[in-house]
Amino acid sequence: MPSPSEHEALIAAVAQHRDRDAFARLFDWYAPRLTAYLLRQGAEQALAEEIVQDAMVTLWRKAEMFDPAKSSLTTWLYRIARNRRIDLMRRDRSTPVEPDSPLFEVVDDTDLEGELDASQREAAVREAMRSLPEEQLVLVRLAFFDALSHSEIAERTGLPLGTVKSRIRLAFTRLRRTLESGGVVEAR
């Protein structure tokens, strides 16, 4: 993987003088990986391509909105693609949705104290997850990383739905508390 600072230099070139070569390099790295991610999440090929294309249009047109102090470019694009997918899957399409509406203005990071970078944040979450009891960890992995619904998890594990729900809730509450007590997340 190219270093985050390399990507930051490329996006700065796009933001400042619409550098097409810099954009093409970002496109070549992110578009195939975002597509792979969406396909893994169960999106159909055509939908995955549409979402990625819209996210890339946003990257091209709104590059100056990206702030490396607040998130990594991967996380920024992840949010744009995630929100775009939800828009495109809306059954009720009465509200006009434009690919360059300021989606990310509402999902942008608040500044994190201590200036954790993406890898430190990821490590903090993984460490917090390791502190969960095994019975909760297994279910959180299925719910969060495999994105299964509670009933799919109940089916797969043979546990009653109520137990699945309760354990997952306990797990996410504990996860949040652990992250808060570690000073990573502001205490409520």
Partner 1 sequence: MTPTGQTHEQPLDTLLAGYARGMLSAPLHTLVATHLAIRPESRRFVSLLETASASEIERLEPAPLADRDARLAAIFAAGEEPIRACAPREAGDVYMGDDVVPYPLARFLGASLAATPWRTLLPGVKEYRVTDNEDGEATLYWIRGGRKIPSHTHEGSEYTLVLKGAFSDIHGHYRRGDIAIADMDVDHQPMADAGQDCFCFAVTDAPLKLTGPIGRIVQKIFRH
CA 6 – CA 75 distance, rounded (Å): 16
Which of 6, 64, 100, 155 is the binder for partner 1 (CB under 8 A)? Answer: 100
To partner 1, the closest distance from the beta carbon of 5 in angstroms equals 15
Nearer to partner 1, 9 or 113 (CB): 113
- 57 touches partner 1 (CB under 8 A): yes
- 7 touches partner 1 (CB under 8 A): no
Q: Return the residues of window 11-40 that contact partner 1 according to CB under 8 A.
A: 18, 20, 23-24, 27-28, 30-37, 39-40
To partner 1, the closest distance from the beta carbon of 16 in angstroms equals 14
CA pseudo-torsion sign 144, 48, 12, 99: negative
Q: Which of 113, 131, 126, 26 is nearest to 76 (CA)?
A: 26
User: Which residues, 6 or more positions from 14, have their beta carbon under 8 angstroms from its beta carbon?
Assistant: 22, 23, 26, 59, 60, 63
- 170 touches partner 1 (CB under 8 A): yes
Q: Return the residues of window 101-140 that contact partner 1 according to CB under 8 A.
A: 101-102, 105-107, 109-110, 112, 118-119, 121-122, 124-126
Which of 13, 85, 104, 142 is the binder for partner 1 (CB under 8 A)? Answer: 85
CA 47 – CA 53 distance, rounded (Å): 10
Nearer to partner 1, 21 or 158 (CB): 21
* CA gyration radius, the chain: 19
Residue 34 burial (CB count, 10 A): 22
